[in-house]
Amino acid sequence: MQLSAYRFSVLVSIVFISGFAQGMLLPLIAVIFEQDGTSASLNGFHATALYIGILLASPFIEKPLRKFGYKPLILSGLLAVVFCFFLFPFWKVFWFWFVLRLLIGIGDHMLHFSTQTWITSNSAENKRGRNISLYGIAFGAGFGIGPLMTKLLEVNENLPFWLAAGLCLMSFFLMTTIRNEKPETESPRTAGVTAFSRYKDVWKMAWVAMLPPFGYGFLEATLHGSFPVFALRNGISIDWVAVLLPAFVLGSLVFQLPLGLLSDKYGRKPILIFSFVSGFFSFLATYWAMHSFWVLLTLFFLSGMFVGSMFSLGIAYMSDLLPKYHLPAGNILAGISFSIGSMSGPLIGGTFISWFKGGAFVFAICGMLFFLCLPILFTKGQSYQKLHTKSA
């Protein structure tokens, strides 16, 4: 069954608002804690709560999706996020906020897992890159606008949290207007196997496609969770941060759809390799431009153009490599991969900021891009659908 235009637009709108909330939360709390004297390491650790929530939810989310369908999971996730954002202003305590971020991670994962699976399952292979790119653009646009909300701290520290809660509540009501569906049923051969065996099969078939989501999670969380701390400690103003992070996301928005369309035409693998290599060099150049605003702004924009599509390209690549009945499990593993990358990013970024002077944490980003590119370069991944079409 193909996605209707209205349903696709609703899903994309909800993902945009979710991206806005996530993009706001990472730098917002990082700045609040830094101004309150919290160490960079603890600040980075706190940022991992969102992704711990994703990991905790991952083993339990596929079965409810198959039983109840996409819509109930999306609505439940939105309610959890709304509830948590409303609670932030009531008690400003490190561990209470940690638990709220963890619960937001669970709610966000329910939402994103369901929307990703819905879109990838109902997209034709020759339009998959396009559809996932539009999904990525929606999330990226929201994520890019989110950091601008750090300026609201000058008005009222609680205002950004209330704004995010209100927008997520709007998403909830928007979601009630579309009809529920369930994912494709499993084949008789796989219906009785354990979840562990199913994940094992998915990993064997599509492990290489899990690397780009890991890389994007690492990169996104490092930039939004650690870069504001690095900037404040190296004389870069909050005004710079509020522009540089959206510049990265804007770059990803500009090039995400072209990369998706190119991947539909030329294949996911060559486009992924191009993205990793170009991103490596553009990030490496930022090491020598930390105190030149316009050069740094240009490099952040270029970096976003090259690597801002890693997640959506990885999801499209994974969808090519798997049969449809394995897509829920594949999206779970992609979410776990993204979460592990996101958890390790702020921890490594915060550690580099604490241990090294200058912009040494840039080398952590470049090293990650280099080592993830190698397996993609040397591993042969073929479309499941095309292989089975040929064999038939």
Show me where the domains of the chain are located: 5-183+195-391
**pLDDT of 392:** 40
Encode 299-317 in three state secondary structure: HHHHHHHHHCCHHHHHHHH
Give tens-digit pLDDT for 276-314: 999 999 988 988 877 788 888 999 999 999 998 898 899
Q: How confident is residue 77, by pLDDT bands cut at 50, 70 and 90?
A: very high
**207-234 pLDDT, tens digit each:** 999 999 999 989 887 887 777 777 777 6
Q: Give dist(CA 131, CA 135) in Å, integer.
A: 6
The residue with greater pLDDT, 45 or 14, is 14
The conformation of residue 179, written as its DSSP 8-state character, comes to: -
pLDDT at 186: 59
Nearest in space to 73 (alpha carbons), one of 128, 14, 143, 19: 14
Where residue 87 falls among pLDDT bands split at 50, 70, 90?
very high
Separation CA 132–CA 315 (nearest Å): 8
The encoded tokens of residue 38 equal 């919290």
- Per residue in 33-53, pLDDT (tens digit) is 878 877 777 877 787 788 788
**Bigger pLDDT: 242 or 275?**
275
pLDDT recorded at residue 391: 43
Q: Is 356 in a helix, a strand, or coil?
A: coil
Distance of CA 277 to the CA centre of its chain: 20
Virtual torsion, Cα 147, 152, 158, 163, nearest 10 deg: -70
The fold adopted by the segment(s) 5-183+195-391 is: Growth Hormone; Chain: A; (1.20.1250)
Could you give the C-alpha distances from 208 to 103, 221, 316, 346, 360, in angstroms and in order? 29, 21, 12, 23, 28
